[in-house]
Every structure is written in C-alpha cells, then in structure tokens.
Structure 1
Amino acid sequence: MLRSLIKLIPHKLSDSRSFGIFKDFSKKTLPLNNTFGFNSINKLPFIQYSNQKRMDVNYPSLEGVVRLLNEIAPLHLAESWDNVGLLVEPFTQISIGKIVLTIDLTEKVIEEAKTYGTELIISYHPPIFHPLKSLNHKTWKERLVLDCIQCGIAVYSPHTALDAIKDGINDWLLSPFNIKEVRPINQSSMDSRSTNHYSYRLETVLPSESDSKLLERVEKLGKVLRLPSSAVIFSEDKNLPLIINILSENSSTKASMHLSKLDIPPLPGFGVGRIAQLTFPITLQDVINRTKHLLNLNHVRLALAPKHSLDSNINSIAVCAGSGGSVLRGLSVDLLITGEMSHHEVLDALYSNGSSVILCEHTNTERGYLHVLREKLITKLQNPNVEVIVAKSDADPLNIV
C-alpha cells in the first residue's frame, strides 16, 4: 500500500499541484523548500501553512473583502466581453490578512505574494480570460492558476470595472490637469438588478369587471399601475411572455396592448474613457511633462498632428487606460492619451481628426493607479490587521533600450 502511494507522489511538487496527495499521505509536517517549488514558505511546514489560511475573527473573510471590492468597482460596470470578479477561490474558507495588488499576474508576482503569506491577489488584468479547456502545466497561465490553487491564494480581477468608476483609472489619468468639464466617452448605466429596473412598459385598456382577476395574476409577475381607463404594467424580460399570455385571454386587452422598451438609467460620471475640456489651454509640451511625471516615465511616444507642434495649445484631451484605439476612434479633440494604438489607428487620429497622440505603453497607464486603489481598499476595510501591498515585481514587459 505504501509503495503504491509513493508512486502517486511525483518527484517534484510542481508536477502535481495537489493538496490532497500530501494531506492523505502523511499527517506529519512536510518542510517545503525550493525542491518543492516554494521559495516563499521554505521554512513553514505544510500543515502549519494550511492552518494559517483558516478563518480568524480578527481578519475579514474572503467573501467580505470581495463585497468591499464590488462596492469600490461594481462588476456590472465592466465591459460585456470582460471576465471580472473572483476568478480563483480556495477550497476552504479563509481569512484575509495580506492582499497583493498587481496589474498582471505573473510567476514573479506569485512568488512575491508567497513571501508575504498572501491570501488574496487582486490582479487588474484577469489571468483567466479565454475559457480554459484543461488545467495542466503546458501553458504559463494554467500554471499560474494551479499555483494559486495549490497555495490557497484567491485571485480577483476588477479590470474594466475599475476603468469605468468615478475617480477610477481614467479620471486619474486626467488628474495632472485643471479640468473645466469631463464626461465618459461611453456612458455606464445603473445595475438593473439593484435598482428594481423593469425592462418593458406595457399599456392596455382595463379588462371588464368579470376579467379583473387577470390583473391580479399579472401583479404577481410585474408592477401594475391602474389608471381610470387603462392599466400600465412594468415587466422584467423573463416575465413579459407570461404577462402577454395572461392579457391575451381577454380580447379587449389583447387588441389594445402597447409595448415599449425602457432604458436603464445612466450613471453620471461613470463609463468608458474620458473627454475633458481644460480650464485654460496649456502647451503640448506641458501635457507631455505632466503625463510623464504622473506615470513616472522618462519617455513616451508622440505622434504630432499636421497642424501641431510642441508649442501648440491644447484645450481638449481624451484618455483611455490600456488599449484605447477603438474607444478613442473618431473623437474631435486636440489630444489623445492612451497606452497603445495600432499604426493605422494613429494615422486616422492624425489625419482624419487632427488629434495628436501620446502613447505610454499599455500597463504604464494603469500601474500607478494601484497606489490609489490601495488607499481606497484600506479605507473600506477599516481593519489595521490587514496589509495591502502593491507588488514590486509587477512591471511593464516592454523596455526602451
């Protein structure tokens, strides 16, 4: 029996990524050293490390921290194509004492997180974006996920929800400038689930007294407003066919039904990207200097519009963190600031719209905001026991040489 168990255990932990094998094989503490791929807890026995992850009343639960993160950046604000929220969740309930913030989840970041004894990594970019068909060691992203699962580290990603919020990344990109007026490029809407929003308004004549029970049945599916000669019914998507079927039982209500789609109320100040009018004009060179200072960069890439020079006055700026090509397309402003755009997107901005372009590289437009997010999270947590750390090993993969 022992021999068969030994066969199940690989020579290296990095070939297994399995807690169960080691728990079942021995209740003795196993020193985890570099042989097993644990640079961070090489002096901490396995069972002791596992026990430290259990619930502690002095620290918030993972569920509680996730709830606070959703208050900071509600997930319904994220783009429909995005993959946000809690992406990796440990098998057992854990308390959160250490949180690491990063733009990208890489092996270096995970190793750094282990040295802190981290229970939660907040990765701005979701490490799981496209569906995973397997979990093995063949791809680097699958290895990251397995490593986090093995160590009991939760992973959360806010991504485009953090872009869209008021005082989020895009507003932060405009913080070096005196702004007279600012608005999102694409407006966000309220969360229909939390505002009791109804998707449809249906108006019909009041049924005869003999058919009044029709509305009583409808009231169980939606909101009914009874007027002197008609009824207005507000319905969610899923209940609309049922309501129409009920009203169709009466010939007068069926013949007089008028249906209209209701828009979800907008959220002022929330949305994708930003367009800003400056309080007073400043030179393009001044914009460049302020942007480099905010992002802690020595260089940015600049594309000058035909009628612009470094001394040209800038009155309007549009920004989009990360990759802004599609969001900034077709805007009539003096200057675009983003992380990256394609060659042809830059040409369109220059010659179709007369806008100059500043490119700072993708993650350079995002990374500095982690310090702002750290302060927001500390304020929300209101728990001095919890340490929030900005990863030191997180960096843009591109360097100017």
Structure 2
Amino acid sequence: MKKVNGCQIIEVFEKWSPKKLAFEGDPIGLHIGQLNRQVNKVLVTLDVNEQVIDEAIEQEANLIIAHHPPIFRPLKTIWTDTPQGKMIEKCIKHDIAVYAAHTNLDIAKGGVNDMLADRLGITDTEPIEETSSEHLVKLAVFCPQTDADQLRKELAAAGAGAIGDYVGCSFSSHGIGRFTPVDGANPTIGEVGEPTSVDEERIEVVFPESLQPKVIKALFAAHPYEEPAFDLFKMQQKINVHGIGRVGRMSEEMTLKQFAEHVKDAFKVPALRFVGDPETSIRKVAVLGGDGNKYITAAKRKGADVLVTGDLYYHVAQDAQSLGLAVVDPGHNIEKIMIEGVARNLSKLCNEMKYDIEFIESKVNTEPFQFLF
C-alpha cells in the first residue's frame, strides 16, 4: 500500500464529484490548511464545528471532508476568541485540512441525492432539474482508403467514437474524391495543376463537444492531406447529463401518511412535517437534500406526487398545496447519509489505487434542532 497526501485523496474524490458540477458561487474546495501533506486518516462529516474538530484530533485524522462548507461567506477577520475563529485555529495548530464538497456532491452520480433516493427505495431516477450537459458532435472526414485505418486509430485515441461501453466506433462509406492542386500547394497525392481522383473513405465518428479541440488536433496530425476535407455536426443527443435532485418511482403505491412514516423510518428522524391529504396516493417521488424550496414547480412538472426535502417555508408549503404537490420535510440533517456513503465509496476507490488511507465516519450529531412531543 502506498502512502498518500491530501492532493491525491482529493484527486480521487473529484473524479467522482468534480468541482465543475457545483453551482456558481458555491464555496467548495479547500477551506482550511493545505493538501500537500501526508494523510493517514480522513474524517467524513456533514458539518464542521468545534466538536467535529475535536473528534478529528482524537482520531488523529489530518483531513476532514465535509458536505457543508465551514466558511460559507468570505471572512474579513479571524478572531480566535470567536467560535469560528477558534475552530480555524484548532485546525491550523493540529495540521488538519478541511475540504468541502457541497452542490457538486449533491449533483454527482452516486452523490447525496442518489443516496437519499436509494434509501427511500426510489428507482428509475432522473434529475428534478438539469444543471449541465453536453451535446454529441459528429465528425465526417474524407480520407484516402490507404490511410483510413490509421486515421480511425488516431481519432479513437483522442476520444472519438466512444459510445457507452464501446470504443473505436465509426462508420465508413466509399467514394471518389476529386481535387486540383494549384500553385503553392504541396499535395500528398497528385501534381500541381493536374485534376486528381482518389479512392476515399468517408469516416464518421461521434464525440462529446468538450473533446472537439483534441479530436480536431488529432485529425490534422494524422490526416495525409495538406487540406483535409471534413464536416462537423452538432447533434441533438445529449450526454453527461447532470442535475439537482432525483425523481423516480416507488415499487409499491402507498398513501401520503404511509409514505411519511416510511421517510421517518428510512432516515431515522424523531419527527417530520408533511403537506397534503394524508390519503393521497403516492407512487412517483422527488427527493432533494437540503433546502428544496425552489424546486416544487420543477418536481410537479416532472410528475411527482410528493417532494421530500428540508427547510420548507410556510408560503412555499401553501404554493405546493395549490399545485397539488405533497411535500414531506424530514429536515436538512438527513443529508448526513453522505457520511457513510462518502466514506464507503472513497475507501473503495482508494483501495483500488492501493492507497494506505483510512476513512472515519464522524459520530458527532450536528442536528441543531430538538423536538418536543
């Protein structure tokens, strides 16, 4: 097993939950300390407070991965006699780095919202609202038959022609290419001033739009012609679709009251609030960790019978009633499901890399609310 530093751990993490998925302005990434030190233990937590820092010190963890950013708004000063300042001071004194993954972890496939959906038994899920995607691009290039195999190979090496679990996908058709080199040309085939005909292949490959510069560079490097002839077509088909929240179906229909009990049991919360007729039938379910007030219309548009989310506002609850959308609010803290999920997934990924690292699940309860029954 290999010793690793924080940069290597975060590199593994960001392949699963890349920063580019986060909402604009979301303060993700390294908050305290540095990542270029050796890391032996990582503490995974929902929130960062002084108790969590004390837990990290006790467990001898030198990196904390949190869901909620501990420094959400820019600091003008760090006074170490304030709770936040004291927390920062402790981290620095004990060489503990703190890294936050917020909306990028919400959106990532297998991230917080997928964890919540899995816990509720929701299947065939899709995002409540798309946040990013890219179109496929088709390249059609004309090449002498004698050079077609090599060009296909180079395009594939640049990432073109990868479809699902298949690579090197392409389509070819044969024809005759005609051209006349003029003064200043340095033709691979033919002579200046002489009309030329060549047996050619039309090679078609598709690739994500983000790979276009790399694919075009490979095309010009590998193509035998001085002036390759090619077309680019932006396709309607999207790939790498990501979004916030999840909506899918339950295996069995139940009433809203039964479903609320199911949510309460699934997330082990002492109490919850719900909006809607208790006898309403529930089959299609939307779930969004944290504050989902902005997404009631999107959830209804997706055909959801109910939205499971936290921090529900009074007037938003009334709006949901008007839309005919039930809402179940088990609180913001159900996102603590990420503690086990992140620790388990990162442990698996790092084991595959032969990294000598231990992931610890925080046991500190960061739920600020208490309930009176």
Q: What's 1:74 paired with? A: 18
Q: What's 2:266 paired with? A: 294
- 2:281 is the alignment partner of 1:313: yes
Alignment of 1:322-333 (within 5 A): 322-332=290-300, 333=304
Alignment of 1:246-257 (within 5 A): none
| Cα separation, 1, equivalents of 2:367 and 2:358 | 24
Pair 103,143 (structure 1): closer, same or farther in 2 beyond 3 Å: same
Q: Please give the secondary structure, in 1, of the residue aligned with 2:52.
A: helix
| Cα separation, 2, equivalents of 1:330 and 1:186 | 7
Q: Please give the secondary structure, in 2, of the residue aligned with 1:105.
A: coil
Amino acid at match of 2:348: T
Q: Are the aligned partners of 1:76 and 1:191 in contact in 2 as well (CA < 8 Å)?
A: no
Q: Are the aligned partners of 2:48 and 2:66 in contact in 1 as well (CA < 8 Å)?
A: yes
| Cα separation, 2, equivalents of 1:327 and 1:182 | 16
CA offsets 1:89-136 (integer angstroms, 9 cap, x no match): 338x42111111111110111011111111101111011221122222
Q: What's 1:170 paired with? A: 113
Q: What's 1:126 paired with? A: 69
CA offsets 1:268-293 (integer angstroms, 9 cap, x no match): 4x310112233442222332222122
Amino acid at match of 2:288: C
Q: Are the aligned partners of 1:330 and 1:349 in contact in 2 as well (CA < 8 Å)?
A: no
Alignment of 1:229-268 (within 5 A): 266-268=239-241
Amino acid at match of 2:33: E
Query: Offset at 1:145?
Result: 2.2
Alignment of 1:20-39 (within 5 A): none
Q: Are the aligned partners of 1:123 and 1:157 in contact in 2 as well (CA < 8 Å)?
A: yes
Query: Offset at 1:180?
Result: 5.2
Q: What's 1:84 paired with? A: 28
Pair 152,84 (structure 1): closer, same or farther in 2 beyond 3 Å: same
Query: Offset at 1:178?
Result: 4.8
Q: Are the aligned partners of 1:109 and 1:394 in contact in 2 as well (CA < 8 Å)?
A: no
| Cα separation, 2, equivalents of 1:161 and 1:178 | 23
Q: What's 1:367 paired with? A: 336
Pair 302,210 (structure 1): closer, same or farther in 2 beyond 3 Å: farther
Pair 179,127 (structure 1): closer, same or farther in 2 beyond 3 Å: closer
Report how many aligned residue pairs link the two structures: 287
CA offsets 1:173-216 (integer angstroms, 9 cap, x no match): 22245545321022243589xx999xxxxxxxxxxx8999xxxx
Amino acid at match of 1:372: G
Q: Are the aligned partners of 1:189 and 1:266 in contact in 2 as well (CA < 8 Å)?
A: no
CA offsets 1:296-347 (integer angstroms, 9 cap, x no match): 112111222xxx22x3310221111000001334532211111112111111
| Cα separation, 1, equivalents of 2:327 and 2:281 | 14
Amino acid at match of 1:135: I
Pair 179,110 (structure 1): closer, same or farther in 2 beyond 3 Å: closer
- Find 1:141's aligned residue among 78, 84, 88: 84
Query: Offset at 1:262?
Result: 10
| Cα separation, 1, equivalents of 2:102 and 2:324 | 30
The structure richer in strand per residue is 2
Q: What's 1:275 paired with? A: 247
| Cα separation, 2, equivalents of 1:85 and 1:350 | 38
Gaps of 5+ in 1: 1-56, 198-208, 213-234, 240-259
| Cα separation, 1, equivalents of 2:235 and 2:33 | 37
| Cα separation, 2, equivalents of 1:127 and 1:169 | 18
Pair 396,178 (structure 1): closer, same or farther in 2 beyond 3 Å: closer
Q: What's 2:193 paired with? A: none
Alignment of 1:188-227 (within 5 A): 188-189=131-132
Pair 385,376 (structure 1): closer, same or farther in 2 beyond 3 Å: same
Amino acid at match of 1:288: A
| Cα separation, 1, equivalents of 2:159 and 2:90 | 41
Greater alpha carbon shift after TM alignment, 135-144 vs 58-67: 135-144
Pair 359,83 (structure 1): closer, same or farther in 2 beyond 3 Å: same
Amino acid at match of 1:379: K
Pair 176,378 (structure 1): closer, same or farther in 2 beyond 3 Å: closer
Amino acid at match of 2:85: E
Pair 196,80 (structure 1): closer, same or farther in 2 beyond 3 Å: farther
Amino acid at match of 2:270: N
Q: What's 1:380 paired with? A: 349
Pair 81,328 (structure 1): closer, same or farther in 2 beyond 3 Å: farther
Q: Are the aligned partners of 2:134 and 2:239 in contact in 1 as well (CA < 8 Å)?
A: no
Pair 161,263 (structure 1): closer, same or farther in 2 beyond 3 Å: farther
Of structures 1 and 2, the one scoring higher in RCO (CA 8 A, sep 6+) is 2
| Cα separation, 2, equivalents of 1:185 and 1:360 | 19
Q: What's 1:347 paired with? A: 318
Question: TM-score scaled to structure 2, two decimals?
Answer: 0.67
